[in-house]
Amino acid sequence: MKLIKNISLVLPDQVLKRSGILFSNRIERILKEEELKAVEEKPDLEVIDGRGLYLSPGFIDIHIHGAAGHDTMDSTYEAINMISKAVIKSGVTSFLPTTMTMPMKSINKALKNIREVISRGTSGARPLGVHLEGPFINPEYKGAQNDEDIVSPDISLIENYLDVIKIVTIAPELEGAKELAKSLTQGGIVVSAGHTGATYEKILEARGWGVNHITHLFNAMTGLHHRQPGTVGAALTLDMTCEIIADFIHLHPAVIELVLKIKDPAEVILITDQMMAGSLGEGVYQLGGQKVFVKNGEARLENGQLAGSILTLDQAIRNINKLKVLSLPRLFNLVTYNPARLLGLENEIGQIAPGCRADLVLMDEELRVKNVYIDGREVVKEGEFNEGNH
Ligand SMILES: [Zn+2]
């Protein structure tokens, strides 16, 4: 059993100062300042001084393609493991490796690989399953996806991998979208509208099929017009969760502020949409079989189209914090409790509560990640990957 004491504990609704938590691979107990003394003296207890740092639940990234020179579509154990080691340094303890629109054969290979990686385990963050971004999307809103491999919605194309798929991004206006969305949501899989030319009315209809999430709000979808509210208008007014890429490149800070004022912040989830250049420098990379040029913090195709990001989730939190519109607990919920709840995993991850996995992030006053624990093991120490401890 371990005890971290002297922390500012970030709970879903409050910050508990000078507190502590007792944990093994799961969280045992939350201890207020006055309760610490009695527990501290127990024998066989490893006591860790939290040095007054913030302690948050591990972050969850539900939309990430790659990092450290590797991509989900590489479909190898090494690729996913290297991504898992890169992202845990930014406080991410769980993630959904995200596929791209590529030939169905390649997508199935990537799905099969993730299934194997999950059963084998990784050295870093824990892959929870897959976010399938395409191939059931609208070519007119393809973004950086390759339109040659776009196909009509059809469950038979993915039915052998439903156990590993957690989110599917589709364009609801496509023929066959309704049938696909209904079978997926009935099976407990999140269906998200994205890369879509859907009208407000179409999204309203899709909400009735169980579509309850929006992929990277504002990007690759119909925008807000005062007579045609589009996908954005529907996302902002209906009870749906919205992904936000908070790199201040995909969305102007004022637009993010607007979203956080209109939407219940409990319905907002930060994602990175990170591609393989994440954690690396400028240069030429790949995404979904296309060349991507990374320069000045931006990742773009040759034609200038934004192609994912090199944002990390801890940077996204620091960016949102600069807007000063959310309290600290609500800010952290954007990367912890909210994504966990979308996936139906809030009693397992995404909050510090007795019984939950001990996925923990220690951060300083500037919200820089210092130490990261996954299942109670310290995997990142003072910002560096702890090779001996996984
Ligand atoms: Zn993406």
* 222/116 same-domain check: yes
Task: Find the DSSP H helices in 230-336.
Answer: 230-237, 253-262, 313-323, 328-333
**Residues 222, 230: contact at Cβ < 8 Å?**
yes
Average pLDDT over residues 182-197: 98
Q: Based on the structure, what is the number of domains in the chain?
A: 2
Ligand 1 centroid, distance to 33 Cα (angstroms):
43
Ligand 1 centroid, distance to 132 Cα (angstroms):
9
* 39/186 same-domain check: no
379 within domain boundaries: yes
146 within domain boundaries: yes
Ligand 1 centroid, distance to 100 Cα (angstroms):
7
* 102/45 same-domain check: no
Average pLDDT over residues 261-280: 95
Average pLDDT over residues 190-207: 98
Q: What is the pTM of this model?
A: 0.97
Confidence of residue 389 (pLDDT cuts 50, 70, 90): low
Host domain of residue 207: 58-342
- Name the residue with tokens 């060349």: 291
* 278/361 same-domain check: no
Question: Could you tell me the CATH number of the domain that includes residue 324?
Answer: 3.20.20.140
- Reported as a single tens digit per residue, the pLDDT across 329-338 is 999 999 999 9
297 within domain boundaries: yes
- Reported as a single tens digit per residue, the pLDDT across 24-49 is 999 999 999 999 999 988 889 999 99
* 98/24 same-domain check: no
Say yes or no to pLDDT of 246 above 60. Answer: yes
* 50/153 same-domain check: no
122 within domain boundaries: yes
Alpha-carbon distance 57 to 92, whole Å? 9
Residues surrounding ion ligand 1 at CB below 5 Å: 133, 273
Using DSSP's 3-state secondary structure scheme, residue 98 falls into strand
Ligand 1 centroid, distance to 368 Cα (angstroms):
25
Ligand 1 centroid, distance to 370 Cα (angstroms):
28
- Reported as a single tens digit per residue, the pLDDT across 46-84 is 999 999 999 999 999 999 999 999 999 999 999 999 999
Alpha-carbon distance 301 to 38, whole Å? 59
**Assigned token pair, 280:** 């690396």
Longest alpha-carbon distance in the chain: 68
Alpha-carbon distance 200 to 358, whole Å? 41
Ranking 134-148, 176-190, 210-224 by mean pLDDT, the lowest is 134-148
Radius of gyration of the chain (CA): 20
The CA-to-CA distance between both ends of the chain, in Å, stands at 17
**Residues 63, 216: contact at Cβ < 8 Å?**
yes
- Reported as a single tens digit per residue, the pLDDT across 106-144 is 999 999 999 999 999 999 999 999 999 989 999 999 998
* 204/91 same-domain check: yes
The two beta strands, 54-57 and 360-363, are antiparallel
Ligand 1 centroid, distance to 21 Cα (angstroms):
36
Ligand 1 centroid, distance to 64 Cα (angstroms):
6
**Assigned token pair, 90:** 């930014």
* 299/211 same-domain check: yes
Q: Would you state the pLDDT for residue 342? A: 98
16 within domain boundaries: yes
Ligand 1 centroid, distance to 287 Cα (angstroms):
10
* 270/303 same-domain check: yes
Q: What percent of the chain has pLDDT over 90?
A: 94
* 157/247 same-domain check: yes
**Assigned token pair, 155:** 């469950």
Average pLDDT, the chain: 96
Question: Could you tell me the CATH number of the domain that includes residue 28?
Answer: 2.30.40.10
* 29/160 same-domain check: no
Ligand 1 centroid, distance to 309 Cα (angstroms):
9
* 321/355 same-domain check: no
390 within domain boundaries: no
- Known catalytic residues? 273
Q: Would you state the pLDDT for residue 21? A: 98
81 within domain boundaries: yes
Alpha-carbon distance 213 to 157, whole Å? 22
